[in-house]
Structures are given as C-alpha cells and as structure tokens.
Amino acid sequence: MSEHYGVSGRCGGYCAGMHQTTSVWLDRPRASYPALSGTPTYDVVVVGGGLTGLLTGLLLARSGQSTAVLEGRYVGAGASGNTTGKVSLLQGTKLSRMLSSNPPSVVRDYVTANQEGQAWLARFAKDHGVPVQERPAYTYATTRIGELRARAELTAAQVAGLDATWETETELPFEVRGAVRLADQLQLDAMHLLDAIAAAFIAEGGVLHERSRVVDLRRSGDGTRVVTREASATAGAVVLATNQPILLRHGFFARLKAERSYAAALRSSWTPHGMHLSSDPVAHSIRSLPVPGGDELLLVGGHGHPTGRSRATDRKLADLVGWARSTFPATELTHTWSAQDQRSMSTLPYVGPAFPGDERLFVATGFDKWGFTNAPAAALLLAKTILGPAADAELPGWRRAFSTWTPREVASSWRGLFYNAEVGAQLAGGYVRNGPRRPVAHSEVDGVEHDVSKVCPHLGGILRWNEAARSWDCPLHGSRFAPDGEVLDGPAVCGLKDVRPS
C-alpha cells in the first residue's frame, strides 16, 4: 500500500508569506568538519554532536584523553540546535511530576545537578564570549487545570530548595490565573554556544567528525570498535549522546517516550523580559531573542505530541502560529521548526553505564526538553566516571538522580508498562491500517518525489508522515527519516530502502 504526501513551497500551505523552515539558531553560516576516515584509535569516542556530546568530549580532552566526537549529520542537527535555548531550573511542571514517583531527596539531587550544570554553562559562556541574558522564569496558568499544576510545581520547587514564589500578575499581555516565578535564570543562542564548545574542544586536541553516522558497535579485546558506514574507530570507552541511545542491545528505547514539539520566531511589537512556560493542557513557551541592531524576536513553542502518533502535524504548527498571531501584536513569521526529546519512565535522566558495571559503554538520555541544564551535568558525571579514581575524579553526590539503573524504576514501572502497551498498539494498528500489501511511503517535497519503504528498520513500526517537519516518523520509539530515507533520529541507524520500480 502506498501513502502519498505532497508538499510545495516553504510554508506548507498554512501561512502567508515566506519564512525559513529551520530553527532560528541554525539559520546562519557555520563551520563544517570532515567525515571519519580510516581506522583511528582513541581513548574515548563520543557519538552525537549535540550539547551533551560536545561537552563530554571537551571535558575529557581537557583531562588529556584522546577523544573524538562523531556526528551523523552536522553539529546541532538534533535537539540542541532546535531548542528554545532556556537554561532554567524552573522547568514547567517537571519537578512536581518527578516528585510523584521519586522521594524528595532525589528531586533535590536532580535540582543540585541542574544548578551545577547551569553554573558551569554560565562560566563557559562568559569565558568564551557567548552572549547570555539573565531572566526570571515563569510557569504560568490560564486554566483551572493549569493553576492546579502550577501550584503543585511551586510546592515541589520549594521542597527541592528553590526560592520560587507565586505571582498573581505577570508581564504577559493576557490574563493569567497565577504563575510560579524563579529569578536569575538564563537564556541564550543555542548555536552560538555549540559553536564555541566545538571550537574549544578542537583547541584542546579533540577530533570532530560530521556526516559519520555510527551503525554498529563491536567489542574487540579491551576496546570497542565504533563502525560508521565507511570507516571505524576503536576506543577504550564509548559514550552514546544521541538523544535516544542507538542500537538494540541495551533496551533504553523501551524505557523512553519520544516527543516532538514545535516552535516559531516572529517579529512583534511586544517581546517579554522573562521566560514563560504554561502549565495548561496545551503548553505554550514564550521568550525573547536579541538580534543584531538592538531588536528582539518573539520565540514561541509548544503543541507537542508523541513522535509519529499525530496525523495532523501541520495543524499543530499552524495552531501554534495562529495562537501567536492572535495573542501578540503585529506578528510577522520568520522561522518555524520542530524538535524531539525523550521522557523517561522515571521522569529522571539516564546518565551512566549502558549496563550495570560496564565501564566501556555509557549513555546520556531522558532530558525531557531541559538539556541546557541537564547536559552539562551529564557531561560532568560522564567525564568523572570515565576518568575514574586514577585521575582523582570524585563522583558528584547528586549522581543517583541520574542513574541508568536503579530500584526506583520499580516505582514507575506502571509508566513503562503504559509506554510499551502504547507501542504494541501502534505496531499492530499500523499493519492493520496498511493491509496485506507492501507498505510504501511516497512523498513529493518541492517537486522531488521519493518512494521508500514505510517500515522502520529498528523494530518494524509503520511510519507516518510529519507534514510540519517533512519527515517519516516512527510511532514506536521515535526514529525519523528524511523523504529520501536518510536517518534523522535514532534509535534506528539504517535508512529506509528505496522501493522505486527499476
């Protein structure tokens, strides 16, 4: 069975005028790095050229480890280059959700880790000329449900030791039922930061390779062979910093839920001083972005959904843009984009050995859209773990909040069962909808047609077309593919087969 999708123009039919369908951060000239070649050997290979991977590489290179970072596409191609660029300890309703399945002491450890990550990032930005704006952060509510969630978040934030307060009025140009406020948080330009980290990593002797998608890991003696499509590298330790860990052997895909959300940049006569995120059933993120010339753009985000499980993705983005245009004055759309992140069944990140006791393969995932505080903390933990006692690298006391394997998973096992029941339903439903014939995905983007297999090579899910992101998305575990079948996001490592008639 063939499924056909046609897309023409840059706006997908939902907006007037032209704009960039890439993130505001990535719409800029950037350095490029060569693909991996030959069979080099390193102390550590980090897979993934986002914030976590680059920071981990930088810390290890500074400590004298020969380190390479391998990126399947280009630096910032994943979540890090498609973020909203908030570096905040107030994270919507995350702390209250976390407190529902974890003891208060673990939530405090999570906040401590994020405080350390935020402080490290602020120091790095100051030392390397990366502009950072200090702003208050708000979790605001416009509905009764949102108010209940926001008040629960206030309680959780105070339990975790944050100096959060309740406000009845905000700067927002619409009525709110109240908001949690946390002063002295940060916002920045995501790619300005990533470019600075990449440059610092190379200056410390690190090696950075783009267009080097890892397709396999093979144990070899005391090391691991990291295999790309055209080359390989051998390392004593490997870090998978790929948003969701690639490959099947560790099973993290069964403990995570991939979610996509949408964002837009607009010119408006109103921009906020603070960073705002709603606790309502339909979430909206709001912040400003200084641009050359002294002006500011308005950045909005939200309208998320589990990856591959919404057929109306073009409406998700259209609704976000429509909300911004109806809410804020004189809005002109300049950029739209989308991002993907992973929510763990424990609501806590997974950072550490992929298997208990294995000191050769490490993962970092489950940041739940808050990578700009979690990633620096994860990099610090990974670097200290890999360097070990010989380097006098004492592990941080908050590390239990980032553990990859813990008895606390039992307390949240109901969430894991729910995640995987959803996966089973999506797998069965996909084949029922497509019938007995071979599933073929046909797309036409800007006049170019592609016919590829509609079956995800990871675990066989039937892909769905994401009109807003122009990608084929898997409803099982969030793998994504370009119209021509190229892998965009894992856990899949192989692209879709071309099935055009010969």
**Residue listed under structure tokens 């407190």:** 99
3 — pLDDT class (breaks 50, 70, 90): very low
The answer, yes or no, to whether residue 17 has pLDDT greater than 50, is: no
Q: Locate the domains of the chain by residue range.
A: 2-8+415-489
Calculate the average pLDDT of the chain: 87
Look at residue 2 in the predicted model and tell me its pLDDT. 41
Is residue 491 predicted with pLDDT exceeding 80? yes
Q: What is the pLDDT of residue 439?
A: 81
Distance CA 66, CA 77 (A): 24
> What are 195-250's pLDDT values in tens digits?
999 999 999 999 999 999 999 999 888 889 999 999 999 999 999 999 888 875 66
pLDDT at 451 over 60: yes
Give the residue, 82 or 292, on which the prediction is more confident: 82
Least confident of 150-164, 191-205, 308-322, 405-419: 405-419
What dotted CATH number matches 2-8+415-489? 2.102.10.10
* Residue type, position 196, single letter: A
Asked if the peptide bond before residue 376 counts as cis, ω within 30 degrees of 0, the response is no
- Cα-Cα-Cα-Cα torsion 308, 310, 314, 316, nearest 10 degrees, comes to -120
pLDDT of residue 68 exceeding 90, the answer is yes
Does residue 383 or residue 464 have the better pLDDT? Answer: 383
pLDDT digits 0-9 by tens, 264-290: 999 999 999 999 999 999 999 999 999
Burial label, 410 (beta-carbon count in 10 A; 0-12, 13-18, 19+): exposed
DSSP string covering 345-371: TTSS-EEEESSTT-SSEEEEE--TT-H
Tens-place pLDDT, residues 87-140: 999 999 999 999 998 999 999 999 999 999 999 999 999 999 999 999 999 999
User: What mean pLDDT comes out for the span 190-195?
Assistant: 96
Who has greater pLDDT, 381 or 388?
A: 381
**Can you tell me the distance from the alpha carbon of 499 to that of 502, in angstroms, rounded to the nearest whole number?**
8
- Residue 267 vs residues 16, 316, 329, 432: alpha-carbon distances, Å: 14, 20, 9, 45
Distance (Å, whole) CA 361 – CA 375: 18
Q: What is the phi/psi pair of residue 444, to 5°?
A: -135, 110
pLDDT of residue 374: 97
Check whether 315 has a pLDDT greater than 90.
Answer: no
Extract the tokens encoding 125: 């930005």
